[in-house]
Amino acid sequence: EDQVTQSPEALRLQEGESSSLNCSYTVSGLRGLFWYRQDPGKGPEFLFTLYSAGEEKEKERLKATLTKKESFLHITAPKPEDSATYLCAVQAGLGTYKYIFGTGTRLKVLA
């Protein structure tokens, strides 16, 4: 069964304290792994797509990496405005548009 697991569920960091969020997945025929950011009361906002093991993408203080079993979202020197829930999702299977989301990591960055 296709599955996406994120850890930790919640994370509190001091401003400037770098850390990583984990997304482990079990899918058949991975077509893409996605990271989204969700602020309270809003829809998820697209951050990154990763397609194959070894791929990395960066955006400001965020860097996403992918292996054959998991993805990491590295946050370097976070700021309070980085506080949000970070969601990982996979798209798997040919000829479908099925998405499977993890339950997210709630990040709180303290000033």
Partner 1 sequence: EAQVTQNPRYLITVTGKKLTVTCSQNMNHEYMSWYRQDPGLGLRQIYYSMNVEVTDKGDVPEGYKVSRKEKRNFPLILESPSPNQTSLYFCASSFRAGGSYEQYFGPGTRLTVT
Any contact of residue 32 with partner 1 (CB under 8 A)? yes
For the CB of residue 99, give the shortest distance to partner 1 in the complex, in Å.
5
Candidate ranges 10-18, 67-75, 76-84, 99-107; the one touching partner 1 (CB under 8 A): 99-107
Nearest to 91 by CA among 9, 12, 36, 38: 36
Of 42, 60, 68, 111, the residue at the interface with partner 1 (CB under 8 A) is 42
CA–CA separation, 31 and 63 (whole Å): 20
Answer for which of 19, 22, 27, 31 binds partner 1 (CB under 8 A) is: 31
Nearest to partner 1 of 28, 97 (CB atom): 97
Instruction: Specify the residue, 71 or 80, whose C-beta has the smaller distance to partner 1.
Output: 71
Is residue 40 close enough to count as binding partner 1 by CB under 8 A? no
Burial class (CB in 10 A: 0-12, 13-18, 19+), 80: exposed
